[in-house]
Amino acid sequence: MRSRTGVPADTVWQQLSEQAAALQDIHLAQMFADQPDRFAQLSRRAGPLLLDLSKQRLDVRTLDLLGRLADARDLRGWINRLFAGEPINHTEQRAAMHWALRVPPQQTSPVQQQVQEQLDRMTRMVERIHARQWRGVTGEVITDVVNIGVGGSDLGPMMVCRALDDAADDRAVRTHFVSSMDGSQVSHLLHQLRPHSTLFIISSKSFTTIDTLYNAGTARAWLQRALGDDPAVIGCHFIGVSSAVDKMEQWGIPRTNQLALWDWVGGRFSLWSSIGLPIALRIGMKGFRELLAGANQMDEHFRAAPWTENVPVLMALTGVWNTNILGIHAHAVLPYDGRLKYLPAFLSQLEMESNGKSVTRDGEPVPTGTCPVLWGEVGPNAQHAFYQLLHQGTEPVTCDFIAPARRYHEVRHDAAAAELIGQHHLALANCFAQSRLLAFGEAALPPGEQLPMYMRYHGNQSSSTLLVDQLDPFSLGALLAAFEHKVFAQAVIWQINPFDQWGVEMGKQIATETLELINGGATSSSMDSSTDGLISAVAAASAAKDL
Amino acid sequence: MHLDVYGDTLTALVTAAALSSTGHQVTLRVPAGQVADELNADRMPYQEPGLELMLDQQQQSGRLCTGSAEDMPEDRVEGVFLALSPAAQPFAESLIDQLAARRGHSWLVVNQSNFPVGTTESLQLRLRDGADPGVDRAVICMPEMLQEGAALQSFMRPSSILVGCDSDWAEIHIREMLRPFNRLRDVMRLLRPREAEFTKLAINGMLATRLGFMNDMASLADALHVDIEQVRMGMGADPRIGEAYLYPGCGFGGMNFSRNVMSLADTLESSGVGSELLEQVLLINERQKEVLFRKLWQHYQTDLNGKTVTLWGAAFKPGTGRIDNAPALKLMEALWAQGVTVRVHDPKALPTLQALYGERADLVLCDDPYEAARGADALMLVTEWKDYWSPDYRRLHKLMAQPLLLDGRNILDPDFVRSSGFVYYGIGRQ
């Protein structure tokens, strides 16, 4: 396929493979020895983010070539299509306009007016709750808010709430998250809360998500047992966030308690929309708007910066290089900050649900690999878990190290600040030491006698480091938008649609049939022998318990 | 002796009147504010039997005069009394600093204010800072124990006088100042300053706890269809309990019960000490301030938008125009948030309310209680002013849009109110 800008993609792939062959035998330690200014050459800044690619197994020529690959795949054109609101989610005939959620309020297209209108509604709700004037059905003040959602309606808000704990509004109420369909979270939570002062947010774009509706049903029954089944109970204790107004209505949520979103917001891109209500409840609308502003700054950077200066594009192309050229199919996300505890889970969804595809936009099988297996954990804790494999295992793994440069400068840490800053520096030291050891292997150690084999570090494991000035709403917005655009840019290179998720639909349908069998206590053979066998075992266990 | 009294509290006025009546030469210095304004306009800010008369007599005798609180005591003054409001701690500190700056002057400062525990000692450190050698200086603490309604009596014929004092020189002087009030037998009890302050805190805490407990009982009584008034009288008859401070109601206000006063001073706080019980008592009280709102909210099935509600009483207690921490404030804010128009009558607090909230469409201040009730969907009795004890029910019934009466002080007879055609809700009684 010949692109608009010249060199055909196949040619560039070929050149990249040749590059890789040339670099193949050069250990990262050697690259640093050969190029003393690697950091200067291979690190970039965008707003509050510093991206250090110098510990990747590439050089500036690689980046140039990768830029040519982006051109060959017409990344510029696709970015324009994304921001023009074209229906680039072609399998669902939808646009993907999460960026429109964070455009500053001055712009007034019809879409922008809708966005601002929902933000205004959200503001009124947040203000009322923060003023301690949202009342339960008995007139009690709401003190606890429970977000019921799953996937994008859960991971995004939960991850951001946790990450921005230090930016919490003084008037913030307690927020809780419930997602798991088996009811274990909701049952645990309901034991601790008072129905009189608890408000639930049912967050579901389609308002048909079975996990969420079951959890919401359990919550509703819990409230009604304590407070009666007057419709006012739902009116006082539930807010709905969905694009399906009629379904919220049917469920009993009054208009005044509804927040809308649109089919042009994908679930995993939706924390910027009304789905972000728990975030606004945690950090206030001022903080929420700063989060949006940080993301908007990254949007503008992504649209304008040339490839070799473009942080999200460089993140994407580095990933392509590692996956497709170096053949590394595992990627670890390692934040060195406990507040980013849920970031690995969030990014697993963002990247794997978006780019875990094997069919191109033209309906052909993708000829190359796509999204690697991605997982992660708070870095210092992971050091005591799976780092062994990173350092001495047989599988190559690339890593993203993520850390804030500054921490504990907020007023609230006043008294313990000195000790906590000490702990932060300890975490940073570990972060830098681990990426160094992964890259350099034994070369990072002081010279000495030969170590026995089992104590040796082969090194040469690639990693990127993302340093954020400090973890505040603005910089977190920029960081998350950078990952969103990374995902989009990779999808363009791989020629796939990152905005659909057909792979998660079929399982839901089969589960519906299976549920009937389990509820019916079926023992007869109707599915495969494995499923039949498991269902009968459940039936036997239930019967035994009833005796 | 020449004595100066700084403060705008009831204690300040009583102290000034009582001391001058026994021959001391007293200058009363009232800081600018509502109390000062009323005194200047020749009105009594506190309704206390005999107080106004005694203040007049002492002024006529020439032994009591008034001065600006901005000015320092003259050189001949031997004792300075501080009977300030809890919020005036910074004022006290700056006053002490200015006294301290007069290096050769000897000072006895008597702190009667409700400041956090430890304040007297820290004021004494400030006062002694930089004094010339050999100059006697002390800040002692004499917590006010006035019984409202009998304030003069309780100052001049006290059953006990608590004095927190750690200096012999100061003891000699305070004994001399108060000698006329301590004749029959010596009722002066000397403690360390922080012990005296703590005793006052413990008394306030005990009273608040009794009220909190009764409000808790009232919520239960509501649920169990028991009349809390019967329970209250039954409890009060037990001599181990007694009758005082057993009245359930829609929350207490005032400065003496504020969180600030209930907490220990910063100097002590670093030890991590805090009272869990008092924290809970104050929390229960904050909840209790909204009890009438909750009853109204349930009565109208969670929809109050566009309704009109009348408040009788806004002051935190009868006899004062003060609204510090008053339940009425929380009630009004809760009502406004639901789109309710609030009409308020209070014999004294309307100017303070006006100053706090300014002009707003959903606040109507009425000089006449019946005018306030016009068109109302509910009448809430919040402060038990004597004016409200025997309302003209027929007139109210005609004026109000809905005959709904919420009695936040349990001063009306539920059966009589009902027989007059009203729906009645009390605190712990129906």
Whole-number pLDDT of residue B60: 94
Q: Which strands, in side-by-side order, build the sheet including A174-178?
A: A174-178, A144-148, A198-203, A238-242, A258-260
Q: For residue A448, what pLDDT is reported?
A: 72
Neighbours of A539 (CB within 10 A): 16
Cβ atoms of residues B381 and B406 within 8 Å: yes
Assigned CATH class of B208-425: alpha beta
Q: Where are the alpha helices (DSSP H) in A110-254?
A: 110-130, 155-163, 184-190, 210-227, 231-237, 245-251
- Residue A496's H or E segment, with its range, is none
Going from the C-alpha of A409 to that of each of A67, A169, B400, the distances in angstroms are: 39, 16, 57
Q: Beta strands B308-312 and B137-141: pairing type? A: unpaired
pLDDT at A6: 54
B-chain CB neighbours of A230 within 8 Å are 301
User: What type of residue is A220?
Assistant: R
Largest CA distance in chain A: 79
In chain B, whose CA is at the least distance from the CA of A127?
B337
Q: Which of B302, B303, B335 to mutate to test the interface with A (most CBs of A within 10 A)?
A: B302
Position A1 scores a pLDDT of 42
| CATH, domain range A98-284 | 3.40.50.10490
Q: How far is A149 from A285, CA to CA, in rounded Å?
A: 21
Residue range B70-100, pLDDT digits in tens: 999 999 999 999 999 888 999 999 999 999 9
Task: Find how far residue A52's CA is from the centre of its chain.
Answer: 21
For B301, name the nearest residue in chain A, comparing CA atoms only. Answer: A232
Q: What is the C-alpha separation between B17 and B64, in angstroms, rounded?
A: 7
Out of B294, B298, B337, the one facing A133 most closely (by C-beta) is: B337
Per-residue pLDDT at A489: 98
Q: Could you tell me the CA-to-CA distances from B414 to B63, B227, B420 in Å, in that order?
A: 52, 10, 10
Task: Please name the residues in contact with A158: beta carbons below 8 A apart, sequence gap of 6 or more.
Answer: A147, A177, A278, A342
Question: Which helix (H) or strand (E) covers residue A363, if one does?
Answer: none
- Which residues make Cβ contacts (< 8 Å) with residue A300, sequence separation at least 6? none
Torsion, Cα of B190, B192, B198, B202 (10° steps): -30
Secondary structure class of A367 (helix, strand, coil): coil
Amino acid at B16: A
Over chain A (547 residues), the average pLDDT of each successive run of 10 is 59 94 93 95 97 97 96 97 96 96 88 94 97 96 96 96 94 94 91 96 93 95 94 95 95 95 95 97 97 98 97 98 96 97 97 97 94 96 95 95 91 76 94 95 77 87 97 98 98 97 87 85 72 89 73
Tokens of B391: 């309302």
Cβ-based burial of A114 (10 A; exposed 0-12, middle 13-18, buried ≥19): middle
Q: One of A353, A377, A484, A485 is an active-site residue; which one?
A: A353
Q: Which amino acid is at A420?
A: L
pLDDT in tens, B221-261: 988 989 999 999 999 999 999 998 999 999 888 766 666 66
Confidence band (pLDDT; 50, 70, 90) for B276? confident
Residues A176/A146, Cβ–Cβ less than 8 Å: yes
pLDDT at B268 over 60: no
Active site (annotated) includes residue A508: yes
Q: A66-70, A132-136, B277-281, B292-296: which has the minimum mean pLDDT?
A: B277-281
Phi, psi of B311 (to 5 degrees): -110, 125
CA distance A238 to chain B (A): 14
Active site residue A384: yes
* Domain residue spans of chain A: 10-84+305-443+458-499, 98-284, 506-546
Same fold, A10-84+305-443+458-499 and A98-284: yes
Question: What 3 state SS string does chain B have?
Answer: CEEEEECCCHHHHHHHHHHHHCCCEEEEEECCCHHHHHHHCCCCCCCCCCHHHHHHHHHHHCCEEEEECCCCCCCCCCEEEECCCHHHHHHHHHHHHHHHCCCCCCEEEEECCCCCCCHHHHHHHHHHCCCCCCCCEEEEECCCCCCCCCHHHHHHCCCCEEEECCCHHHHHHHHHHHHHHCCCCCCEEEECHHHHHHHHHHHHHHHHHHHHHHHHHHHHHHHHCCCHHHHHHHHHCCCCCCCCCCCCCCCCCCCCCCHHHHCCCHHHHCCCCCCHHHHHHHHHHHHHCCHHHHHHHHHCCCCCCCCEEEEECCCCCCCCCCCCCCHHHHHHHHHHHCCCEEEEECCCCHHHHHHHHCCCCCEEEECCHHHHCCCCCEEEECCCCHHHCCCCHHHHHHHCCCCEEEECCCCCCHHHHHHCCCEEECCCCC
Q: How confident is the model at residue A527, as a pLDDT?
A: 84
Query: What per-residue string of b and e applies to B49-58 under the rule 16 or more CB within 10 Å gives b?
Result: eebeebbeeb
pLDDT score of B353 more than 90:
yes
β-pair partners for A234: none
The CATH code belonging to domain A10-84+305-443+458-499 is 3.40.50.10490
Which amino acid is located at A271 in the chain?
L
Percent share of chain B, pLDDT over 70: 95
* Res. B186: pLDDT tops 80: yes
Largest CA distance in chain B: 77
Q: Give the pLDDT of residue B254.
A: 74
B295 touches chain A (CB under 8 A): yes
The predicted pLDDT at position B397 comes to 97
With residue A522 as reference, give the H or E element that holds it: none
pLDDT band at B318 (very low <50, low <70, confident <90, very high): confident
How far is the C-alpha of B378 from the C-alpha of B159, rounded, in Å? 45
Question: What are residue A148's DSSP bridge partners?
Answer: A178, A202
Q: How far is Cα B375 from Cα B404, in angstroms, rounded to an integer? A: 12
Whole-angstrom Cα distance, residue B99 to residue B96?
5
Inspect the interface and report whether the beta carbons of B302 and A137 lie closer than 8 Å.
yes
Residue of B nearest to A130 (CA): B337
**Count of residues making up chain A:** 547
| B303 to chain A: closest CA residue | A232
Which tens digits make up the pLDDT trace of A134-160? 999 999 999 999 999 999 999 999 999
Q: Annotated catalytic, A516? A: no
What are φ and ψ of residue A178, in 5° steps? Answer: -130, 125
Q: Using the structure block, give the residue that is written with the tokens 């350099």.
A: A440
What residues of chain B lie within 8 A of the CB of A138, using their CB? 294, 297-298
Question: Two tokens at A522?
Answer: 């079926």
Distance CA B119, CA A421 (A): 34
pTM of the predicted model, to two decimals?
0.87
Judged by average pLDDT, the poorest of B18-32, B130-144, B367-381 is B130-144
CATH class of B2-191: alpha beta
Check residue B281 and give its pLDDT. Answer: 87
Q: What stretches of A131-191 show up as alpha helix (H) in DSSP?
A: 155-163, 184-190
Q: Which one-letter amino acid corresponds to residue B302? A: T
CB A199 within 8 A of CB A239: yes
B222 Cβ under 8 Å from any chain A Cβ: no
ipTM associated with this complex = 0.84
Can you give the pLDDT at residue A75? Answer: 98
Q: Please, what sign has the CA dihedral across residues A340, A341, A344, A347?
A: negative
CB contact under 8 A, A135 and B338: yes
C-alpha distance from B228 to closest chain A C-alpha (Å): 21
Query: Mean pLDDT of all residues in chain A?
Result: 93
Sign of the torsion angle spanned by Cα atoms A514, A516, A521, A524: negative
Distance from CA of B258 to the nearest CA of A (A): 20
Quick one: which of A445, A439, A475 has its CA closest to A459? A439
By DSSP bridging, strand A463-470 and strand A49-52 are antiparallel
* B384 and B202 Cβ atoms separated by less than 8 Å: no
